[in-house]
Amino acid sequence: MRIRVHDASDLADLVSFLEERDCIAERVGPNTVDVAPLASVRHNHVRLELDLFLEAWHAAHPEARAEFVD
């Protein structure tokens, strides 16, 4: 799954946050990251888990904006 932050300065923090939650997060652009959980789960569960992680990150960083990219 791909996530894009609106402010590139927020990307490093998001990557660290996801990695602390056992995700592989690879930067693919100045404000974009490809992310996948280390555990093998079905695709629909991956999106749900990443939705929850992104909501938690937003709660900790209310000034930041990030969204999934199709």
Residue-wise pLDDT tens digits, 9-62:
999 999 999 999 989 999 999 999 999 888 755 666 788 888 999 999 999 999
This prediction's pTM: 0.75
**Residue 41 has what pLDDT?**
58
Element (H, E) at 36: strand 32-37
Confidence (pLDDT) at 43: 64
Whose CA is closest to 4, among 26, 28, 33? 33
Q: How many domains does the chain have?
A: 1
Domain that holds residue 23: 2-69
Q: Report the amino acid identity of residue 29.
A: G
